[in-house]
């Protein structure tokens, strides 16, 4: 099934099934075509087109100097991006896998996150760090981490994670255009998810910092993002549950989240990251501070277990699934209504 879309100059075009991976690749391509200061760099992003083929064709179209293969040295890759940004470029860094990014933490925390503040606003670092993250693909340790809590706890960074094809394109374009550094978390198990989409007339999406209600409901609110959105949407089928897709972890959209919880009176936060010290604790605290007198039950969390990522054969037990989400909904003190 295809749908019609209208380009900026008024031409009608067909929206066809496209994957999130294709939308991300098109976002990079369009950003590079429109702005010659946009450069892509990372391990195997050139000739190979990246492990997940997101950058496929960019080196051929724009040359090796703008889509550059780097050594296997994440600290060096991000350090080079810092220098590029200081001299007026807009580097887009690809980290092959979530846990591969850890060697670059010193550059990220000491320089990327702090340079604008350190220089009194005189030197922004418009760097986008693309990080494939999360599980669900049968990957081993160092290939399936959900490390968003580390980035959220680092002032000076924007942290963004799309869950739909439209958002993959729109949020990546906005991230690259931003003068603030953005950690762009890509849920790798959604790379092959599909939706009707037109690269010639991509749909406008809400900006960074804005959450979206993906499904209205009145009984309870499921608050989630990235790879857990499809899980929550499936869990809500047949139930009167509202689903909020955060999209942006920093800045955080308190207004949309609080408005939803005030309507429903109950909330469950769902994410793959471990529960202890994870994003759900911060989100639950923000909800409690803003919605205390509207809550009919404590805010609950459904998260990954507090363990290193398990072997592929066990990850289905580790990742939040529909049953665990509905178990949490069942524990929202419904007996108090009677």
> Which residues are part of the catalytic machinery?
143
Instruction: Supply the Cα-derived Rg of the chain in whole angstroms.
Output: 20
Each residue of 286-318: b (16+ CB within 10 Å) or e? bbeebbeeebeeebbbbbbeeeebbeeeebeeb
Q: How far apart are the first and last CA of the chain?
A: 47
Q: How far apart are CA 164 and CA 176, in angstroms?
A: 18
């Amino acid at each position: 099934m295809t749908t019609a879309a209208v380009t900026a100059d008024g031409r009608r075009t067909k929206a066809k099934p496209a994957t999130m991976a294709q939308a991300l690749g098109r976002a990079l391509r369009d950003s590079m075509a429109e702005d010659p200061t946009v450069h892509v760099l990372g391990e195997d992003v050139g000739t190979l087109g990246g492990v997940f083929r997101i950058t496929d064709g960019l080196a051929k179209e724009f040359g090796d100097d703008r889509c550059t293969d780097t050594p296997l040295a994440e600290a060096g890759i991000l350090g080079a991006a810092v220098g590029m940004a200081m001299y007026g470029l807009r580097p887009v860094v690809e980290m092959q896998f979530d846990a591969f990014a850890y060697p670059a933490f010193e550059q990220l925390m000491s320089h990327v996150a702090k340079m604008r503040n350190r220089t009194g606003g005189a030197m922004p670092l418009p760097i986008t760090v693309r990080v494939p993250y999360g599980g669900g693909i049968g990957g081993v340790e160092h290939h399936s981490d959900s490390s968003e809590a580390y980035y959220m706890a680092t002032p000076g960074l924007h942290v963004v994670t799309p869950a739909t094809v439209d958002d993959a394109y729109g949020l990546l374009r906005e991230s690259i255009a931003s003068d603030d550094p953005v950690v762009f978390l890509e849920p790798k198990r959604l790379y092959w998810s599909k939706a009707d989409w037109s690269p010639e007339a991509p749909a406008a999406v809400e900006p960074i910092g804005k959450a979206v209600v993906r499904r209205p409901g009145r009984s309870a609110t499921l608050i989630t993002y990235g790879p857990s959105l499809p899980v929550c949407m499936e869990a809500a089928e047949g139930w009167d549950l509202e689903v909020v897709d955060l999209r942006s972890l920093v800045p955080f959209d308190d207004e949309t989240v609080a408005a939803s919880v005030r309507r429903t009176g109950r909330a469950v936060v769902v994410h793959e990251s471990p529960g202890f010290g994870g994003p759900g604790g911060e989100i639950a605290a923000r909800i409690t501070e803003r919605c205390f007198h509207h809550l009919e039950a404590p805010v609950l969390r459904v998260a990954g277990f507090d363990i290193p990522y398990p072997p592929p054969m066990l990850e289905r037990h580790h990742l939040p699934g529909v049953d665990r989400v509905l178990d949490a909904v069942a524990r929202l003190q419904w007996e108090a209504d009677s």
